[in-house]
Amino acid sequence: MSVFRLKQDLVDPVDLHGVLRVRLGSQDNVFVSTYFTRLDQALIVWGVVTAAIFLVAQFCYLDWRIQAIVWSALSCAAILLVGRLAWFWVTTRNQRWILYGWSLLVMAGLVSTGYGILSAWGFLLRNLCSIWLGISAFGYFATGIGMQAQALILIGIVHICAIPILIVLPNWPFLLTGLVMSGSLFCLAVFQWEHY
């Protein structure tokens, strides 16, 4: 069985709660027909936030202090929204630790990033992308092991493998990091993956 596959019909009542159905095309000729569970919606929110943060950091010459404040506020709002979207899913599956764990990881990353930027700590600033990829990899490994989800472990490996690539692409660290992090989240939202 593959780690990722196209989504099957929904039968689990937990997944049906708050499902968003998407159909693209005309009524007679549907190009895409899929759905997004509350968990998928939470992953999409994080994907959009992550893409915005890292793409602006790569391509816009906005003051780092302003970025730190704006992105921290946006990330905290995203934590609340994701918590609301995922709460039913994690509660019914006795997996609240996932939500708490990821929230703590993101907050630790935000505090580290904010401190590094506001104090102009060179070492931390030079390694922001590696730090975020490492934080995410740790979260994926912990969640993958806890949920017995091979897809999450695979995505953790992708995050770890992206860290040395940052050295090879020194002019594009935020773009690479944003692509890996948000791409992984979108992949998890769009495809079906096994977990227990």
CA distance 156 to 166: 16
Q: Give me the count of residues in the chain.
A: 196
What's the pLDDT at 196?
66
Q: Say how far apart CA 130 and CA 147 lie, in whole Å.
A: 25
Query: Is position 109 within any domain?
Result: yes
Q: Is residue 21 part of a domain?
A: no
- Asked whether 4 and 188 are in contact (CB, 8 A), the reply is no
Residue 148 CB contacts under 8 Å (≥ 6 apart), including other chains: 195, 196
Does 117 fall in a domain? yes
H helix count then E strand count, the chain = 8, 4
In the block, which residue shows the tokens 């919606």?
A: 41
Per the DSSP assignment, residues forming a β-bridge with 34 are 22
Handedness of CA 19, 25, 27, 30 (dihedral sign): negative
Q: How far apart are the C-alpha atoms of 161 and 20, rounded to whole Å?
A: 33
- Residue 142: inside a domain: yes
Task: Please choose, from the candidates 193, 191, 185, the residue with its C-alpha nearest in 3D space to the C-alpha of residue 49.
Answer: 185
Residue 16 counted as domain residue = no
> Does residue 27 lie in a domain region?
no
pLDDT of residue 25: 74
Q: Which residues pair with 90 in a beta bridge?
A: none
pLDDT, tens digit (0-9, with 9 covering 90-100), for 76-88: 999 999 999 999 9
Per-residue pLDDT tens over the stretch 160-196: 999 999 999 999 999 999 999 999 999 999 999 887 6
In a domain, 141, yes or no: yes
pLDDT of residue 1: 56
Tell me if 28 is assigned to some domain. no
> Tens-digit pLDDT profile for the chain (196 aa)?
577 777 877 767 667 777 877 777 777 777 677 888 999 999 999 999 999 999 999 999 899 999 999 999 999 999 999 999 999 999 999 999 999 999 999 999 999 999 999 999 999 999 999 999 999 999 999 999 999 999 999 999 999 999 999 999 999 999 999 999 999 999 999 999 887 6
Residue with tokens 């596959």: 5
What's the confidence (pLDDT) of residue 11? Answer: 65
pTM, rounded to two decimals = 0.91
Environment class of residue 76 by beta-carbon count within 10 Å: exposed (0-12), middle (13-18) or buried (19+)?
middle
The number of folded domains in the chain is 1
Asked if residues 134 and 177 have their Cβ atoms less than 8 Å apart, the reply is no
User: Looking at residue 13, what is its pLDDT?
Assistant: 66
Task: List the alpha helices (DSSP H) in 148-195.
Answer: 150-168, 173-190
Domain that holds residue 91: 36-193
